[in-house]
Amino acid sequence: MVASSKKPKGKITISVWQPVWSRLEKALDVACLKRDAYIGALINRELDHLANEIPVANSEGAQQYIDKQLRALLSDSTPLSLALDVEVVEKLDAVCKQRRIVRDSFFNRLFLFLAFGPRMAGKLLFDSFLTDTTREGTEWTQFVWSECKHDGPFYENVFSPLAGHLDPIWPIRACFDEIEFQDKPDYVDWTDPTTKQTVKMAKWTPDSLLYLPPRFYTTVLNDHTLVKGASRNPQGKPQQQSAYHNLYGLNCYLPDFYIPTHEDFKTAQAASAALLEDFENL
């Protein structure tokens, strides 16, 4: 009797924000991709990026805050049962546990950018490329093309087009890498008091507040960027007072100075107010 070569599967159930899953499900159908097989292969790769971009754990307070915000967002959600390789499920559990990452925040964040493409990334991750006259959200893609058009993926995916499906976030990561290369930010070494691991951190205001460098999984999504279906003028600006989606639940990493009840939040607010006062007094 020939032994089966199929890997054992483990089932997990996640909740996905309904507007995201509605769009992503259609995209998977159009691409003729088998849902569970594709998602399994994708997250297996993405978990390596997640662990690399977030080398230290969230605080317990940050994890609880993200979870609370996510549950509010998922009041409009779709339950999704996935059959994944057992080793992928174990890897998922380990990475999320070690770093105090809310598991469904990871899925919803990844699915959001897969479903809505470069315009969503331009709005939420690369708003520095937006101007008063160009607010399409795709301006960052021109930057990536100009700087990376001779790099591997652009060339390789022409001859191996199916490979592009397995690394769809590559252009976003390439943009972060190129921005860092050109800006040469002044990072500092910080040692985790629990694990004794030393990592590169960026400075907030004041300098005593630190955060992980901007990356796909570390850039903080907030509650004042993504407009709830407001009408827009030709320049892409809302034409009326608009409500915004609260996206704090889609974060995999959140510095404590974003949590309203934390002392670091008060410190950051006071420092920002002092800077604004100094500016107004110039």
Asked if residue 24 is part of any domain, the answer here is yes
Confidence check: pLDDT of 80 > 90:
yes
Written as six digits, the tokens of 273 are 């107010």
Asked if residue 207 is part of any domain, the answer here is yes
Question: Model's pTM, two decimal places?
Answer: 0.90
Domain that holds residue 95: 9-280
Phi, psi of 133 (to 5 degrees): -105, -20
Written as six digits, the tokens of 130 are 């937006």
How many domains does the chain divide into? 1
Q: How far apart are CA 48 and CA 53, in angstroms?
A: 9
Confidence check: pLDDT of 29 > 80:
yes
* Angle, vertex CA 202, rays to CA 206 and CA 131, nearest 5: 90
DSSP 151: S
Q: Are 90 and 146 in contact (CB under 8 A)?
A: no
Confidence check: pLDDT of 4 > 60:
no
| pLDDT confidence bin for 163, thresholds 50/70/90 | low
Asked if residue 1 is part of any domain, the answer here is no
Confidence check: pLDDT of 281 > 80:
no
Asked if residue 97 is part of any domain, the answer here is yes
Asked if residue 2 is part of any domain, the answer here is no
Asked if residue 224 is part of any domain, the answer here is yes
Question: Which region holds residue 219: left if phi is over 0, alpha if psi is between -120 and 50, else beta?
Answer: beta
Query: At which residue do the structure tokens 């990493």 appear?
Result: 253
Higher-confidence position of 149 and 42: 42
Other C-beta atoms closer than 10 Å to the C-beta of 47 total 17
Confidence check: pLDDT of 2 > 50:
no
Asked if residue 4 is part of any domain, the answer here is no
Higher-confidence position of 148 and 278: 148
Closest CA to 163 of 38, 49, 47, 40: 38
